[in-house]
Amino acid sequence: MKIILAQPRGFCAGVVRAVNTVERALQQFGTPVYVLHEIVHNQHVVDDLRTKGARFVENLKEVPPNAVTIFSAHGVSKEVENEARDRGLQVLDATCPLVTKVHNHGRQYAVRGYQVILVGEPDHPEVIGTLGQIPARVVVVQTKAQVATLGFTRNMPLAYITQTTLCVDDTRAVVEALKRRYPRIIGPDTRDICYAVQNRQTAVRELSQHVDVVLVIGSPQSANSVTLRDIAAQAGKPSYLIADGSAVRSEWFDDKSTIGITAGASTPEVMVDDVLNALKRIAPLEIENLPGREEHVHFRLPDGLIARQ
């Protein structure tokens, strides 16, 4: 069985920063530290951090007074920030800097009097946090069809922002629909969608041209992992979203000799190794890496953590 690994794949800089924030906080402050929501959308990452002493909560009311509290990479609302401050919690904000950039864009548009439209998934934690960061009403749209239902006048001052983890092509289509209906609308270029998301989507498109079947390693709760699976399927290749090697099924590879593997931005490389080990139990492997974009982005850890000497 020939295996071709996509490049890049797996952890992005924002996820590395978030995971390192929890691990460094445990080293600096001891156990427990409290994390509001899953730090990233990957159960293996969450379980590993839980065994090290992190406690994951869904509400700040579950956090004792003055405790070390970490906000997840997806970001939180101003209401949550204010509640943490009022309760005297020691906050480490692991919100991805690219998500914070979207918050800043949205606030700037709102202050300038624009009606803000957010292209995104209404129930995604990043969208919920972004809505709570903008001091004005924000309308969420996810599809071109929803754009057609908007009731704004053509001359109304409108601006759009986007969720960082969406499919680039789908987002571009929604933005183009907005621009056709509202020619005066302003907003960032779709290149402002997370660089890591774009790179992984480009890589899986290329990967799909060289393989018979695609395995995407990631969580079904991970928007960018689901998108990678969808892109491979749209390319006409059987594609499966799996969390780890235990989900691999030998019948997927009947009469298929070349397997492509990629991983979502919140998936650690150890899960790729786990899938490869599962495939080795099916057939001997010949493994190669597909050439792709190299990433050299690094984000500084949140204020409140002591730099490692």
For residues 278 and 222, membership in a common domain is answered with yes
Kindly list the strands in the beta sheet with 68-71, ordered across the sheet, starting from the edge strand earlier in the chain: 54-57, 33-36, 68-71, 90-93
For residues 42 and 76, membership in a common domain is answered with yes
192 confidence band (pLDDT: 50, 70, 90): low
Q: State the total domains in the chain.
A: 3
Q: What confidence tens digit (pLDDT) does each residue in 220-270 have?
A: 999 899 999 999 999 999 999 999 999 999 999 998 889 999 999 999 999
For residues 79 and 111, membership in a common domain is answered with no
CATH assignment of the domain containing 168:
3.40.1010.20
Taking the C-alpha atoms of 135, 139, 142 and 146 in order, what is their torsion angle to the nearest 10 degrees? -170
Q: Which of 44, 69, 96 is the last residue of a domain?
A: 96
Report if residue 233 sits inside a domain: yes
For residues 142 and 177, membership in a common domain is answered with yes
Confidence at residue 309, expressed as pLDDT on a 0 to 100 scale: 45
* Beta pairing class for 115-119 and 138-141: parallel
Q: Which of 141, 171, 192 is the last residue of a domain?
A: 192
Provide the whole-model pTM.
0.92
Q: What is the mean pLDDT of residues 166-194?
A: 88
pLDDT over threshold 80, residue 124 = yes
For residues 103 and 188, membership in a common domain is answered with yes
Based on the residue annotation, tell me whether 126 is a catalytic residue of this protein.
yes
Q: Which of 58, 81, 126, 206 is catalytic?
A: 126
For residues 29 and 110, membership in a common domain is answered with no
Structural domain range at position 244: 2-11+195-289
Confidence at residue 168, expressed as pLDDT on a 0 to 100 scale: 86
For residues 46 and 102, membership in a common domain is answered with no
For residues 209 and 165, membership in a common domain is answered with no
Q: What confidence tens digit (pLDDT) does each residue in 194-230 have?
A: 889 999 999 999 999 999 999 999 999 998 999 999 9
CATH assignment of the domain containing 60:
3.40.50.11270
Q: What confidence tens digit (pLDDT) does each residue in 97-109 have?
A: 999 999 999 999 9
Report if residue 297 sits inside a domain: no
Of 161, 236, 231, 238, nearest to 197 (Cα)?
A: 231
For residues 237 and 273, membership in a common domain is answered with yes
Of 262, 265, 200, 211, nearest to 235 (Cα)?
A: 211
d(CA 38, CA 43): 8
Report if residue 299 sits inside a domain: no
d(CA 156, CA 186): 11
